[in-house]
Chain A
Amino acid sequence: MQLIYEKSKPGRRAITLDALDVPQSSLPADLCRKEDAALPEMAEIDVVRHFTHLSQRNVGIDDTFYPLGSCTMKYNPKIAEVAAAEPGMARLHPHFSSSSVYEGNVQGAYALIYELERQLAEVAGMKAASLQPIAGAHGELTGTLLMAAYHKDKGNAHKDTIIIPDNAHGTNPASAVMAGFKVVEIPSDVDGTIHLDTFEKALTDNVAGIMMTCPNTHGLFEKDVARIAALAHSKDALLYYDGANLNAIVGQCRPGDLGFDVMHYNLHKTFATPHGMGGPGCGPVGVGERLLPYLPGPRVVKAEGGFTLAAPEKSIGRVAAFFGNFLIAVRAYAYLRHYGDAGLKEVSRNAVLNANYIYAKLKHAYKPAFPGNFMHECIFSATPQADLGVHAIDIAKALLDMGYHAPTIYFPLTVKECIMIEPTETESKETLDAFCDAMLLIAEKAKSDPESLNAAPVTTPVGRLDEVKAAKDLNCACL
């Protein structure tokens, strides 16, 4: 498809401003750009058609089943969009929070922030939460900065290391390093959970904390989590909970009760805010008692006559200019208020039921990566298919031709030819049945006609793209 710049025609315009109603001023020539920015020159209808056509070369959760494991692609309710579009939310200037003069202008927003932070904390068994972090990985960084502040405050200068299991998201080790820590990776046991003996050996006095996902990225609940927490706390090491898989346990058990001291939430995963092709996300942090004094500030607090701001006593400072991605938080708030107590418990129950149903239907055609007890996602290894010349990537591309988004493939790195399927609670039995039929058909074709799968996809706007060429002949802008 043509680029928007290739559709540009000199002199064509879409939107125009009213005629200037004040005298025109100009700046000294040496402070001005030499040439106008070469932005497109198009009529509005051309711009509208261009982006409409681009949208048709995309698929979202509203188009099709998106069983992207570890990414938790559930339906994004429309009421949340209506909530975020309320003018009293969307048009609110953030600097209203910079001066007490404007406090009266933002009481509704402060009430929402206060209540959402409270409910997020409650959902996870934490003492408090902060909406400041702007994405999940930003929440991780904030969490590790909180851990650093805690140890610094206690004079634990030797605590410079964080333990991370090998099945963790790549953001965990990267965040720990950005917060100034060294990282020790520990391998999983054959059953897919943390190897307790290896963990104990790695848990030296230098360990500041451990970052865990639970259920982990193998889709398995960490059975020794209580023991791990006790061991870590006996050495004054803190437990970080990666909220990527919180959807599996919401309303069933809580990270705070499991012994975690700090965590992030991915609002787009557990609380169904749209992920917009890669963002924006929103990654609030939650903390237990130990880290309460260090939370980012300022925070919304209740005062006489309304809400106001105050900074926690030993706050690490601001990680965002204001209250994080506020309009995403508004969406999550609408989601939480709709479900409430009973509804949230149904979320995890149905997410886990759906995943186990898929597992039951596919376990004879694809090789289960672990012996079972999957929670919200099930993980297969396509090694039997790979032996026939059909790799995980071929299976993924064949699914695209059959009208589905592909599951996550080749993650986690610990599983060969990994295929990770996460249906979430918002898919019906009919959808799961049809998807499983597609997967079973592909497994049959891997035996009878592997070449056809190697050629997939053939019905998409483009076929498999040359990623090596993209990196070698780097072309990242039309100038």
Chain B
Amino acid sequence: MSWIPATEADQREMLAAIGVDSVEALFGSIPAALRMKSWDIPAGMSEMAVRNHVASLAGQNRVDHTSFLGGGYYDHYIPAAVDALSGRSEFYTAYTPYQPETSQGTLQSIYEYQSAMCRLTGMEFANASLYDGGTAVFEAATMSVRIARKNKIVVHPSLNPVYRKMLETHAANLELDIVTGDDPTDAACVIVQNPSFLGTVADFTDLAAKCHAAGALLVVSFYPVSLGLLKTPGEMGADIAIAEGQSLGLPLGFGGPYLGIMATRKDHVRKMPGRIAGETQDKDGRRGFVLTLQAREQHIRRTKAMSNICSNQALCALRALIHLSLWGKEGFKDVAIACHSKAEYLKKQLGFATILNEGPTFNEFAVRLPKSARTVAAAMLDAGFVAGLPLADVGAGEENDLLIAVTEKRTKEEIDAFAKALETASCS
């Protein structure tokens, strides 16, 4: 087999050194009655056959449309160097940095990633990443419960409905009271999203003040690219900032791997779940980095841990860091301006539809079409476009409502053609 180097001669020599006659003998501690009788696993395929087979499956997926689909996951341009650098096997084939002396690449990149997240969000501490944006909501909720010592979680209507469902699934067996609204009375936290799931941009500064007066935390779920322009969670007074980091250099990949971002204030850092890298020195005074505050974690605290989270998304965090470093201070702002401007340009051409957002939007907005959004989206596929997300399908709107997103990748020409096709599909 390709990935097992042992030859028959090797096996014989090794068995002789061990002092047994056969490999079978090494499995002697498994009672015979428990050994596998049969299984239905197909025969193996050569590397070439595997490659062709996966390519043929990939070919059954359609990714050639011009896409205006967002809903929390966006088709942003990924600079070539992101793949080239994150693809270095010293990074992607390494494990958790249990031996910091030979893992400084991992540890320094995590420290730099944490720094980037703080600079982006206006917060003081970030962790080395969580699984994704949805599980980050659950971690932020339980972190709030630890800090505020209350069991009520208030979910603002702006939150992605999928995240809300994930929160309910994860908390099903905990004594958490999950309610909808914006009233922080008796609550551990209020969880908001900016821009909202439907794309509306808001300022939650007043809500932060109300939360703090009531002894609750404000948790802001943000869209990383929007922070090229928008007021930061830190500026609003948020206690915990969380995000789905896919938009920072990660492929859409049909759902993952993605990146859960979490940042917080100094007061709360010791209550924050997940890994954290910190700066320190060796005995010669050389700067180095280690995982720190590990006493909060599951491998030491077991039943009393902050969270069961064990892995993080270090490779995804590295991609986000490289992505942000390549765009840089000016480029990152330019991307945000392009996303916003192109979406506004499209919005102005949709006179045949009703814009549903109350208030300004960043790069995504909801429209009510003259007919079923599903019917329109199906017709748009034939015209070469992915029109957006029919909101009724995710329980976030009526039959005729469609969520449309625009990124920097869309050209004026594409947007013009899209607007025209959408009008034809909606009004014919």
Contacts and interface: CB of A to CB of B under 8 A. Distances in A.
Contact of B99 (A123, A353, A400): A400
A30 interface: yes
A174 B308 contact: yes
Nearest to A361: B17
Interface stretch (B119-127, B183-191, B207-215): B119-127
B57 A59 contact: no
Interface in A17-32: 17, 20-28, 30-32
Nearest to A132: B255
Contact of A465 (B90, B124, B288, B341): B288
Q: Which bucket holds chain A's interface residue count? A: 35 or more
Contacts of B338: 17, 20
Contact of A174 (B94, B307, B381): B307
Contact of B63 (A12, A92, A95): A92
A170 B298 contact: yes
Interface string B1-33: 111111000110111011110010011111101
A320 interface: yes
Contacts of A171: 298-299, 308, 310
Nearest to A193: B29
Contact of A86 (B54, B73, B75, B142): B54
A341 B308 contact: no
A428 to B, nearest CB: 4
A324 interface: yes
Contact of A33 (B3, B99, B230): B230
Interface stretch (B146-154, B161-169, B350-358, B420-428): B161-169
Contacts of A173: 298, 302-303, 305
A356 B18 contact: yes
Please indicate which of the listed interface residues A135, A279, A322, A336 has the most CB atoms of chain B within 10 Å of its own CB: A279
B230 A31 contact: yes
Given A33-B230, A141-B308, A174 B100 contact: no
Interface stretch (A230-238, A327-335, A384-392, A443-451): A327-335
B93 A22 contact: no
B310 A109 contact: no
A145 B170 contact: yes
Interface in A416-468: 425-429, 457, 460-467
B130 to A, nearest CB: 9
B331 A279 contact: no
Interface residues of B, number: 208
A329 B163 CA distance: 22
Interface in B206-244: 227-232, 235
A4 B102 CA distance: 19
Contacts, number: 697
B279 to A, nearest CB: 4
A123 B39 contact: yes
A462 B11 contact: no
B41 A123 contact: yes
Given A15-B327, A48-B81, A325 B256 contact: yes
A466 B117 CA distance: 25
A111 B63 contact: no
B196 to A, nearest CB: 13
A73 interface: yes
A317 B166 CA distance: 7
Contacts of A325: 255-258
A367 B360 CA distance: 69
A204 to B, nearest CB: 18
A190 interface: no
Contacts of B290: 465, 467, 470
B83 to A, nearest CB: 8
Nearest to A34: B235
A62 B93 contact: yes
Contact of B23 (A36, A226, A349): A349
Contacts of B378: 101
A341 B311 contact: no
A318 B162 contact: yes
A353 to B, nearest CB: 5
Nearest to A348: B27
16 contacts: A39-B119, A58-B91, A62-B89, A92-B253, A97-B254, A101-B374, A105-B62, A109-B61, A123-B41, A173-B305, A179-B173, A323-B255, A375-B29, A411-B299, A461-B104, A463-B101
